[in-house]
Structure 1
Amino acid sequence: MAPVIVPVQTSPDFPEKTTVVVIGGGIVGLTAALTLAERGVPVVVLEKGRIAAEQSSRNLGWIRKTSRDKVDVPLALASDALWAEMPKRTGTDVGYRQAGIMYVARTDDEMAGHERWIKSVEGLSLDSRLLSPAEIARLAPGGRGTWVGGIYTASDGRAEPTLVSSAIASAAIARGAVIVEQCAVRTLSMAAGRIAGVVTERGEIRCEQVLLAGGLWSRRFLGNLGVALPTLPLVASVFRTSPMDGPTDIAVGGPDFSFRKRLDGGYTITQRGALFAPLTLDHLLIGHKYLPTLIAQWKNVRISVGRDLVRDLSLGRRWTASDRSPFENTRIMDPPVIPALNAEAQHNLEAAWPVFKGAVVRQSWAGMIDVTPDSMPVISPVTKIPGLTLASGFSGHGFGTSPAAGQLAADLVTASTPILDPSPYSLDRFTG
């Protein structure tokens, strides 16, 4: 069962024109729309299903700099500052707490990885530090795990995925943005070699710029336009507990579990060491691009062959503006929970911190992540299609970096001075 998000009163009207159309009502697209609306730029957000109904409300709610690639740290740092402003910006407590994130290492190899990362980000003014087993016991008492050490960033944090997107959407609407749900964009309309509008299932909206923030759907949308975006789907299973006294308010990542305190007093838990890969045609087409990452990071990806491939093929990869699109056939991607992964997470966590043996599971869900070969997003103009900007492929990091990612996307759309250097996120890095 999917998490329940705070409802938002979106527009029943269908506008004929605007300046910017945002395709996708996830947290990055909504943040970009809020930024544009704050700047007085007319913007319409079109969502094929319900806003934030996919990964934006299903993620773990972590906001971290720890273990990010060095070139990705500035995006996370900029997001920290913007997260701190979110309550004032939206008029809502979205659960943002700078309570820290800690990773614990069971082996010397795991600890060596943390040590290498610390060295790689020297000079970036991070507060990350390595931990001894005694320091881990002090920060998260009551543990029974045998840790060789860990890493801790006190300025990392968390927020509530079921609250944030709704608050951002409401704030954007209050500033003049129009958000339309249950309205899939089928394709783009062009004039004089550049974007002139979008064609939806309800008709055309004329516009000057388009931001594609479609998450795992962006690859299929661009593929129909002849533009390649290398992303593959991975599924994470998650569960939450009833309110309970836990070991710490710090979010903790172990080799085969993670947990973080929720605003409601419970914990959100997952099997951090394992992801589920539903085999699709894209795995056969571009899977070779992911081999270095599989070897280095994803050593416990579990592959399933069967109905997921059939479903993926049935959605189709080519259609016209007058055809029913794949986005109308699947309004919300709601992957099934993998009970075995959640059971592993619970077992492993209970062994490490026995207090969780008393946890009552209140809800389980799964979310599908769009992953690029280098686990970095694309926030970039699409050079083949003037007027089109892309913000997708966040590889499970979109929630935490969404404030700065959405603002960077809005900067690129309006040719404003970017909040940070966008070059690490260029689409061209995959095309040479």
Structure 2
Amino acid sequence: MPQVVVVGGGIIGAACADELTRRSASVTLLERDELASGASGRNQGLWVPPEDPALHAIASRSLARYLEIADDAPLPFRIDPHPVGTVFVAVDEEDLAEATDTLATVSAWGFAVSELDDAALVEAEPEVARDLAAAWFIDAGHRLDPAALTVTLALLAASRGAVIRHHLSARALVTDGDHVTGVVTDEGEIKADEVVVAAGPWSPRLLEPLGIRLPVLGVRGWLVRVDPREPLLRHLVRTAEGNGTVASSLAGDIARSGFPTSDGYGSIVHPHPDGTALIGSSRAAWLTPEPEDPSVPRQLLTNAIRIVPRLADAVMLSSWWGLRPMTPDERPVIGRVRDGLVVATGHGSEGVINGAGTAELVASVVLGERPPFDASLFDPFRFA
């Protein structure tokens, strides 16, 4: 079986290590910091049906794997064994068209969707605003601990012989002609039959010296945590994601207008099992760790209070952001880009949702097996 080096200790890299070792590959996982130290440990921790039908197969396989390992995981991690349910709302008439498209996609996937009249909405979630354009209940949505899940997947790989290296950066890829043969690290070269680059928004830095250019942009996503001081919600409450786009900025545009601010606001309120509430979502192009956009937490709170008014009385606890690797069409790039080199990045805000399914596809590519679903949807060269 091949010797595989996986670069990146987030949910994608850890899931790849897990799946490859399940199929008897020899794996070394490299993480420049701690496992789940990036966006994989700094997100809402939800599995919800993706709004893009192309992601259904990859997402459903991911959920199945997470539920499969939950009971016997080497590190206990929290995941709802059954759907907690989602109240999906359209705030105004402008939201209705996008909401209708989303609901049609979710319904076609097989999740039960029911429209809520005023009485049904009061019964489902008494604290949701009554002056909304429409509301529906979706029988879907699992809360989970994303950092613990990531570590669990890595530990499962280690139990089958994988070597997990923390605080070891991959600096460059080693080539022999057009074939990738290993990775240069801070401690020297590690030889490999196959290298899987799953380093999120940092993946292009390894690929570009080989002339491989993927349009993966780092996108900052904020979250806010509040304490309602008493239980307010039983289900997830959310709107559609919004129609904002994320693109690279031109230097001249920044000189004229300043740094980019967040675009593509949606709203999702996540009643955490610890009694707090997590509020998202936003996205803005990331240049360096600074400058931040301090207006984002305020806008997230404004949007959340619009749909759950009593959140105005919740105690503000914290806010933070994570960097999400996003592509122009918001689908990941997964596949072979050179002999001996496979990429798996560009999952945006849905790395947890699609992590284990991504790993199944990666393993099939590395081992020369038939893909478990249509791999052309995630072709790394589709933007050429």
- TM-score w.r.t. structure 1 length? 0.76
Is 1:25 the equivalent of 2:9? yes
1:81 to 64, 71, 89: 64
1:127 to 112, 128, 146: 112
Residue 423 of structure 1 and its aligned partner are, at CA, apart by 1.6
Quote the Cα distance in structure 1 between the aligned partners of 2:54 and 2:322: 26
Quote the Cα distance in structure 1 between the aligned partners of 2:224 and 2:53: 31
- Against the structure 1 CA distance between its residues 243 and 40, is the aligned structure 2 distance closer, same or farther, given a 3 Å change threshold? farther
Code of the residue aligned with 2:40 in structure 1: it is: S
Is 1:230 the equivalent of 2:215? yes
Per-residue displacement from partner, 1:347-395 (whole Å, max 9, x unpaired)?
A: 443343233234223332111112111000011111xx21111100002
Is 1:36 the equivalent of 2:44? no
8 Å CA contact 2:194–2:366 kept in 1: the answer is yes
Code of the residue aligned with 1:73 in structure 2: it is: H
- Against the structure 1 CA distance between its residues 209 and 139, is the aligned structure 2 distance closer, same or farther, given a 3 Å change threshold? same
- Structure 1: gaps of 5 or more residues: 1-17, 281-307, 309-333
8 Å CA contact 2:331–2:347 kept in 1: the answer is yes
Code of the residue aligned with 1:218 in structure 2: it is: S
Residue aligning to 1:387: 340
8 Å CA contact 1:104–1:252 kept in 2: the answer is yes
8 Å CA contact 2:173–2:206 kept in 1: the answer is no
Quote the Cα distance in structure 1 between the aligned partners of 2:100 and 2:129: 23
Per-residue displacement from partner, 1:168-209 (whole Å, max 9, x unpaired)?
A: 222222221111111111222223532221111210111100
Quote the Cα distance in structure 2 between the aligned partners of 1:151 and 1:76: 22
Residue 87 of structure 1 and its aligned partner are, at CA, apart by 0.7
- Against the structure 1 CA distance between its residues 160 and 145, is the aligned structure 2 distance closer, same or farther, given a 3 Å change threshold? farther
Is 1:158 the equivalent of 2:124? no
8 Å CA contact 2:231–2:275 kept in 1: the answer is no
8 Å CA contact 1:239–1:365 kept in 2: the answer is yes
Residue aligning to 2:365: 412
Percent of matched pairs sharing the same residue: 28
Residue aligning to 1:296: none
Residue 211 of structure 1 and its aligned partner are, at CA, apart by 0.6
8 Å CA contact 2:91–2:134 kept in 1: the answer is yes
Q: What SS does the corresponding residue of 2:382 show, helix, strand or coil?
A: helix
Residue aligning to 1:6: none
8 Å CA contact 1:131–1:151 kept in 2: the answer is yes
8 Å CA contact 1:20–1:211 kept in 2: the answer is yes
| Equivalent residues in 2 for 1:160-175, closer than 5 Å | 160-175=145-160
Quote the Cα distance in structure 2 between the aligned partners of 1:358 and 1:122: 35
Residue 92 of structure 1 and its aligned partner are, at CA, apart by 4.1
8 Å CA contact 2:219–2:326 kept in 1: the answer is yes
Quote the Cα distance in structure 2 between the aligned partners of 1:414 and 1:88: 29
Residue aligning to 2:295: 340
Quote the Cα distance in structure 1 between the aligned partners of 2:55 and 2:278: 25
Residue aligning to 2:194: 209
Quote the Cα distance in structure 1 between the aligned partners of 2:168 and 2:96: 48
Quote the Cα distance in structure 2 between the aligned partners of 1:429 and 1:412: 17
2:314 to 347, 354, 359: 359
| Equivalent residues in 2 for 1:24-423, closer than 5 Å | 24-66=8-50, 68-88=51-71, 90-97=73-80, 98-120=83-105, 123-191=108-176, 193-242=178-227, 244-254=229-239, 256-270=266-280, 272=281, 274-278=282-286, 280=287, 308=288, 338-382=293-337, 385-423=338-376
Deviates further, 19-28 or 231-240 = 231-240
Code of the residue aligned with 1:100 in structure 2: it is: G
Q: What SS does the corresponding residue of 1:430 show, helix, strand or coil?
A: coil
- Against the structure 1 CA distance between its residues 336 and 358, is the aligned structure 2 distance closer, same or farther, given a 3 Å change threshold? farther
Quote the Cα distance in structure 2 between the aligned partners of 1:415 and 1:234: 33
Deviates further, 404-413 or 137-146 = 137-146
Quote the Cα distance in structure 2 between the aligned partners of 1:119 and 1:143: 23
8 Å CA contact 2:118–2:130 kept in 1: the answer is no
8 Å CA contact 2:49–2:106 kept in 1: the answer is no
Quote the Cα distance in structure 1 between the aligned partners of 2:268 and 2:231: 13
8 Å CA contact 2:57–2:357 kept in 1: the answer is no
The alignment covers a number of residue pairs equal to: 356
Quote the Cα distance in structure 1 between the aligned partners of 2:345 and 2:199: 7
Quote the Cα distance in structure 2 between the aligned partners of 1:243 and 1:354: 11
- Against the structure 1 CA distance between its residues 258 and 21, is the aligned structure 2 distance closer, same or farther, given a 3 Å change threshold? same
What is the alpha-carbon root mean square deviation over aligned residues?
2.3
Q: What SS does the corresponding residue of 1:230 show, helix, strand or coil?
A: coil
8 Å CA contact 2:4–2:196 kept in 1: the answer is yes
8 Å CA contact 2:364–2:370 kept in 1: the answer is yes
8 Å CA contact 1:240–1:266 kept in 2: the answer is yes
Quote the Cα distance in structure 1 between the aligned partners of 2:371 and 2:121: 39
- Against the structure 1 CA distance between its residues 119 and 262, is the aligned structure 2 distance closer, same or farther, given a 3 Å change threshold? closer
- Structure 2: gaps of 5 or more residues: 241-265
- Against the structure 1 CA distance between its residues 76 and 189, is the aligned structure 2 distance closer, same or farther, given a 3 Å change threshold? same
Q: What SS does the corresponding residue of 2:33 show, helix, strand or coil?
A: coil
Quote the Cα distance in structure 2 between the aligned partners of 1:70 and 1:182: 37
